[in-house]
Amino acid sequence: MTDTVAGRVAALRNDPATSGLRRSLDVYYGDPERDARMDAFYARFVRPGDLVFDIGSHVGDHVGSFRRLGARVVAVEPQPLCLRALRAIYAGDDRVTLVEAACGAAVGSVRFHVNSANPTVSTASSDFVRAADGAGGWEGQVWDAEIEVPVVTVDALVEEYGVPAFAKIDVEGFEDAVLAGLSRPLPAVSFEFTTIARDIALRCLDRLAALGFDGFDVALGDDKSMTFQRWVPADEMAGHLLALPHEANSGDVYCVSR
């Protein structure tokens, strides 16, 4: 599968129709050491045959990791350009299911803010766009288009596809809305946080604790390395996130229900 994926990614890099994704494809594909770190990291959550939800798949590098670990993947992504890449990269892989939607609190639709120059930070959250305006490290980011996209809930995904062993949520400031659409604990979940929108992370922690998640750890940036190396309670994680310097920028909180 690796050779096939590499060839398809190379074709996308050279396709004028997907030129807006070239930076993402360069960053997220073609680095075997990064792939190996991701696989080793996620192996603690994902076993062969497991079901994984990748909510906010972007160009699918996490889909690739979950597939290398032997999982079935439901990839949820609302951006048409990213969906074009996902269809091309994982064409013919019947263990990858693409859901063309955003994930949120209730089934319906939402206005989605597109950052054409940097689709990685496109978002369904207008609050996130406002928080980024003038923030250090976010200079030059412009959300220059809006599209209407359908919305599914995690509960609806569970009803249709089954209970995932792991759900990765990376949706640029819409994570709390995604978790509002989940009404039961899962074995493990991750959600992205940013230092420009810590209130969203705190709402996520409150929601997860209410659902019965009782262990939390965090990895900063794209570094697949846990900070605490143990599961801490939600209040300790909240204090840690609030104390981080602005320059930490972002990371992913990992959550388990034991």
Instruction: List C-alpha distances in Å: 171 to 84, 141, 241.
Output: 18, 16, 18
Contacts of 235 (CB under 8 A, 6+ apart): none
Tell me if residue 244 falls in helix, strand or coil.
coil
Label residue 222 by pLDDT band (50, 70, 90): confident
Task: Find out whether 175 and 204 touch, Cβ atoms under 8 Å.
Answer: yes
Average pLDDT over residues 91-103: 96
pLDDT at 244: 97
Tell me: the pLDDT tens digits for 163-195? 999 999 999 999 999 999 999 999 999 999 999
Average pLDDT over residues 6-21: 92
The tokens for 35 are 């792939």
The tokens for 106 are 């209730």
Label residue 120 by pLDDT band (50, 70, 90): very high
The edge-to-edge listing of strands for the beta sheet with 108-114 is 102-103, 145-152, 108-114
Dist. CA 92–CA 101, nearest whole Å: 21
Dist. CA 128–CA 117, nearest whole Å: 17
Average pLDDT over residues 99-105: 98
Task: Find out whether 12 and 85 touch, Cβ atoms under 8 Å.
Answer: yes
pLDDT at 3: 65
Label residue 5 by pLDDT band (50, 70, 90): confident
Lowest-pLDDT choice from 2-6, 58-62, 76-80, 113-117: 2-6
Domains and CATH numbers, the chain: 2-256 (3.40.50.150)
